[in-house]
A and B are shown apart, each in its own frame.
Chain A
Amino acid sequence: MKGSLIILAFFIGGLLLGMYELLPDQLLTNDYSMYALYILMFLVGIGIGSNKKSLEVIKSVNFKIILVPISVITGTYIGVAAFSLIQDNLSLVESLAIGSGFGYYSLSSVLITEISGETLGVIALLSNISREIITLLFTPVFAKYFGKLAPISSGGATSMDTTLPIITKYIGSDYAIISVFSGVVLTILIPFIIAVIL
């Protein structure tokens, strides 16, 4: 939650400086974001490669546990595809790309911005931040009525870190490894899926 607030603060800070033209034109006309994205992707890669959780995750693979991220991906796509049918602003492809953030708002929004422009990037940012916030707020309800996998699937990629404490509090620590597994698999897949979809 603290992480999302800091990120929103940077986004809003940029938004306000842009709106009131408080920065020199030089900074506004040059596009540095592609280089920043390259650096970020390299660092994210190092984070995944060096993560001890990744090793644990590889050891815990079995048929049942793989079904969890598959369910999250399938369910999310069914949901966003239904959304794309009921309105005219976002196409199916755009909706799928936004859904493919699975709550990983920082990475998905900057990737989508680079590929499809800032309007879609802003929607992806707000959408995926809401996914984390919804999970933090409604995990008790989801766990009570929709089974122990519900908070994990609502959390998407965040179920490995930011939403993990609240999830394990309500579904029990024996599901923690499943939660981490699902989050790690989604986190690794997100950049690949977005690049393929858009």
Chain B
Amino acid sequence: MITVLIIMTSGIIIGWFLHKKEKILKILSGLTDWAIYILLFLLGLSAGTNEKILNNFDQIGLQAILITLFAVAGSILVSWLTYILFFKKDER
């Protein structure tokens, strides 16, 4: 995974130098979308050939939704506290 992080960090540095080259950036942003589409297509493909995933798809879906509800509830409660303690008093 170190490789991934090094690649991303070098992208950030190159991106910083490119930030005024609108035309190049537009092309790269289109390429980014396609890289994402291809990767998710490949994820679908390997999931579609994986018996373990196919046989448990309902359970996997249920777990995904439950964990999200917990994640959202937790983050809302902590940020509610942050809001009351640090933000609310500055409003009229």
Q: Residues of A with Cβ closer than 8 Å to B?
A: 6-7, 10-19, 21, 23, 27-28, 32-33, 36-52, 55, 64, 67-68, 71-72, 74-80, 82-83, 87, 89-90, 95, 98-99, 106-107, 109-111, 113-115, 118-119, 121-128, 130-131, 134-135, 142, 146-150, 152-154, 156, 191-192, 195, 198
Contacts and interface: CB of A to CB of B under 8 A. Distances in A.
B72 A109 contact: no
Interface in B1-42: 1-5, 7-19, 25, 28-29, 31-32, 35-42
Interface of B: 1-5, 7-19, 25, 28-29, 31-32, 35-50, 52-54, 59-61, 63-84, 86-88
Contact of A49 (B12, B44, B53, B75): B12
A175 B4 CA distance: 33
Nearest to A79: B74
Given A14-B45, A38-B3, A124-B64, 7 more contacts: A16-B48, A28-B49, A50-B18, A71-B79, A146-B80, A191-B5, A195-B1
